[in-house]
Amino acid sequence: MRRTTTPTARRLAAAAVALGSFLALAGPTAPAGAAPADPVKTVFIGDSYTANYGITPVNNQDNERGWCFQAAQNYPAVATKRLADKGITVDVQADVSCGGALVEHFWKEQELFGGLGRVPAQQDALKEDTRLVVGGMGGNTLGFTSVIKQCSAKLRGNEGALLPGSPVDPESPAAACRTFFESEDGKAWLDYSLERVGGDLEEMLLRMSYHSPDAERVLVGYPRLVPQDTTKCSTAAPGQTELPFADIPQDALPVLDQVQKRLNDVMKKAAADEGADFVDLYDRTGTNTACDGANRGIGGLLENSQLEIGQPLPWYGHPNEKGRDLQATYVAGKVEEVLNR
């Protein structure tokens, strides 16, 4: 399918996908213009990295959506304030980001943490008059928590009991995870999972155009977790006793980084192929990884987050407040660019 650019062309393409047919369409590029003076009707979608799991207080504590662990001050909320400071008013129609969401939960109902409720498909929040859709998903469809559990004996046990997912192959020891992902079944699983992510993201982006034909779509990638210099990961962060990546073998850290880099590339390609914009957080957060000590923007796997359910919940590699602010900065910058072109 050739790249579609106009809302009408994107909507027709989405309809064609929904009908199971193939349609090649192209249209002229929309003319450049100033950012709209009227409020921009916006929907935020996404998984725990958009919801900013680990940061409190949490929205919707009086209903089942509370189990999405969506922070009241997640990056959509912070980015909205930063845009307002620049004279760009974002009218948030909904923020349906939810921890644990797969890409398919954009069009399918999602069962919440621990089976404690269900939430509607995220696409239900989109309206005919929505002008901007922002957020990111893909890591759960890939099965990144399964990758982590494949490499960590601790997270296969009680310390990872609240982390969804199982190791890819529990018969293969955690210490051998680098070899596992670089050969035979592990490599095949990873290749297939990434292919699935790409296909699901393309469908999600097409569905956005079908439901909100005039909306700009901004797909947000994931911040970098593992630094280029992995020796930094052999030191605990200030005030911590656990290493940033717990007991994951040192030689497996480049593998984790490569998995994340490949996911980032898949997301970038899906956005480009479907005429959407992409926020490349991976390339911009290399000095704020989980192993960057006081400058870390990512909470360590077993570092206590701000959440508690009887006991503190670990960050499990999610952005802390510094990381949240970095997400907000780059997302606000991209939205401003999109609305001003």
Q: Mark whether 143 is an active-site residue.
A: no
Q: Count the alpha carbons within 13 Å of 21 in the hemisphere toward its beta carbon.
A: 8
Confirm whether 74 is a catalytic residue.
no
Give me the catalytic one of 48, 52, 74, 209. 48
H or E stretch including 111? Answer: strand 110-111
Phi first, then psi, for residue 38 (nearest 5°) are -80, 155
CA dihedral 265, 266, 269, 271 (to 10 degrees): -110
- What is the C-alpha separation between 332 and 77, in angstroms, rounded? 10
Told to judge if 172 belongs to the known catalytic residues of this protein, a careful annotator would answer no
- Catalytic residue of the set 46, 54, 100, 299: 100
CA-based Rg of the chain, rounded to a whole angstrom? 20
297 is catalytic: no
- Between CA 134 and CA 277 the distance in angstroms is 9
DSSP labels, 29-96: PPPP-PPPSS-EEEEEEESHHHHTTT-SSBS-TTSGGGGG--BTT-HHHHHHHHHHHTT--EEEEEE-
Choosing from 136, 318, 320, 323, which is the catalytic residue?
Answer: 318
Q: Which of 59, 140, 288, 320 is catalytic?
A: 140
The rounded distance, in Å, linking the Cα atoms of 187 and 190 is: 5
Just list the catalytic residues. 48, 100, 140, 318
